[in-house]
Amino acid sequence: TGGSSGIGLGIVERFLSDGATVVIADIKEPDMTTLTTKYPNKIFFSKVDVCDESLIRSSVELLLNHSDRLDVMVNNAGIINVAGLADTTAESWLKMLNVNVVGVALGSKVAAEYMSADKKGGVIVNASSGGGRHGVPMFSQYCATKAAIIMMSQSFAQELAPAKIRVNCYTPGHIMTPLWEDIVEGMGKKLGKSREDTLADFLSTVPWGRFGTPADVAATVSWLCTDDAEYVSGQCIGMNGAELPW
């Protein structure tokens, strides 16, 4: 889910290069011209609101029209809101919880059902965030939802292990994506700083000396879905350029 841009699109591109058949399940359809030309009959789009379980099922059925089974589900769709506590509302809390938490739960539920059907197992990978490991001012809603994803993934991993379904999550640090640009813009406005100064502040927290890329995240997600990671489940893996404690 959420494969139309940013980290999700990076994962799509990596999976295609690995030889997978991929369905992008997203609310927004991307321009897939280049990818469909490079990978004919290997990439498809399904318009999905992740809060609608029936639409998630439809995206899996689309995959099964072109592939033998569902081997991997990546629940990457998510939204963010830069807001101090005083600016939050019940409506904004529920919107964040529905997309970021319920969407991941429903995606995991549907994936587990299909992966259990033939008793061959599978892999579920959920998108958390460094903000799910510790609180960040102005991001309480986002941090709360991303922390929930870590706990859900650990719970699902233990529950689904007998079915040989592995569940892990990833916690990116500062990854340059359209979502990250929204964060920079929002923080800049709150702090009265320019984009350049806000970026410099964030970069100063990364010992590795650069921001991450979607490809950095996708490489780890790809590995989690291989047989080499067969004994890895219930884990939360960060890619953050040594930015601790993320």
d(CA 163, CA 230): 13
* For the chain, percent of residues with pLDDT exceeding 90: 90
Residue 127: DSSP 8-state: E
Cα 180 from chain centre? 13
- pLDDT at residue 102, rounded to an integer: 98
- pLDDT at residue 246, rounded to an integer: 53
Each residue's pLDDT tens digit, 61-116? 999 999 999 999 999 999 999 999 999 999 999 999 999 999 999 999 999 999 99
User: Measured over all CA atoms, what is the biggest interatomic distance in the chain, rounded to whole angstroms?
Assistant: 56
Torsion of CA 242, 8, 99, 97, to 10 degrees: 0
Q: What is the pTM of this model?
A: 0.94
131-157 average pLDDT score = 96
Each residue's pLDDT tens digit, 43-61? 999 999 999 999 999 999 9
- pLDDT at residue 207, rounded to an integer: 94
What H or E segment, with its residue span, contains residue 126?
strand 122-127
229-242 average pLDDT score = 96
Q: Both tokens of residue 48?
A: 């999905």
- pLDDT at residue 244, rounded to an integer: 75
d(CA 173, CA 155): 23
**Which pLDDT band holds residue 245 (cuts at 50, 70, 90)?**
low
Each residue's pLDDT tens digit, 179-228? 788 888 888 888 899 989 999 998 999 999 999 999 999 999 999 999 99
- Please give the single-letter amino acid code of residue 51: C
pLDDT at position 156 over 60: yes
- pLDDT at residue 10, rounded to an integer: 97
So which residues are the catalytic ones? 142
121-127 average pLDDT score = 98
**Which pLDDT band holds residue 145 (cuts at 50, 70, 90)?**
very high
